Amino acid sequence: MKKSNLIALARTMMATSFPELRGMTLKLKVIDTEDYVMATWLEGKEIHLDLSREDAARMGRSVIIGVLAHELCHAEEDRRHGPFLEALFSWLYERFPSLETRMERRIDFAVIRKGYGNELLAFQRYHDLHYEPYDQTDGLTAKEIEEALRHSHSPGRAPLQDVSRARASRWRGPR
């Protein structure tokens, strides 16, 4: 997927499903990395997303939506906590890996509650195919996501459509 399409997709998701991120500027970089598929962090009113160039080239739309939803849930949580608590949590995660596991699993459940469970499952299957498969310490496994979807009472969401010209013209992120 082209960078411009990725940005439009992320903006649409932020506008429709992530109210706490509205009004923030999106900074997306497609980079050469083997450390992760996508990472996010906040700086003031900016959301930074780094995406692996190799993965960006081979992921389908539903896989990209799944990983974006996961990372945007992280961004929403980080914004609620603020920089001081996020620094404290990072310190704690380094010392107590079980806390990081709980956080990743909580984020995956948040993705499902927002109506992106099928896309999260698509990402999980993609990840398990191309990288070391997830286990329960990394977040929800594909089997756990399938089970959660079977028991989900999430109302789902409307199909994603591009943001309107009016919204796009007010966006301050990269073009």
Backbone angles phi, psi at 52, to 5 degrees: -60, 130
Position 164 in a domain: no
Position 59 in a domain: yes
User: Which CATH number does the domain housing residue 140 bear?
Assistant: 3.30.2010.10
Position 174 in a domain: no
Position 172 in a domain: no
Sheet holding 46-52, edge to edge: 25-31, 46-52, 38-43
Which pLDDT does position 56 carry in this prediction?
94
Residue 64 contacts residue 1 (beta carbons within 8 Å): yes
Q: How far out from the chain centre does Cα 121 lie?
A: 13
Beta strands (DSSP E) in 13-71 are 25-31, 38-43, 46-52
Backbone angles phi, psi at 116, to 5 degrees: -105, 25
pTM: 0.84
Which pLDDT does position 155 carry in this prediction?
57
Position 114 in a domain: yes
List pLDDT tens digits, range 14-62: 999 999 999 999 999 999 998 889 999 999 999 999 999 999 999 999 9
Position 166 in a domain: no
Position 142 in a domain: yes
129: exposed, middle or buried (Cβ count in 10 Å: 0-12, 13-18, 19+): exposed
Hey, what amino acid is at 8?
A: A
In 3-state terms, what secondary structure has residue 7? helix
Could you tell me the sign of the dihedral formed by the alpha carbons of 25, 6, 56, 126, in that order?
positive
Which pLDDT does position 143 carry in this prediction?
95
8-22, 97-111, 129-143, 147-161: range with lowest mean pLDDT: 147-161
- How many distinct structural domains can be found in the chain? 1
How far is the CA of 19 from the CAs of 59, 91, 136, 144, in angstroms? Answer: 26, 28, 29, 27
Q: Which structural domain range is residue 57 located in? A: 3-156
Position 135 in a domain: yes
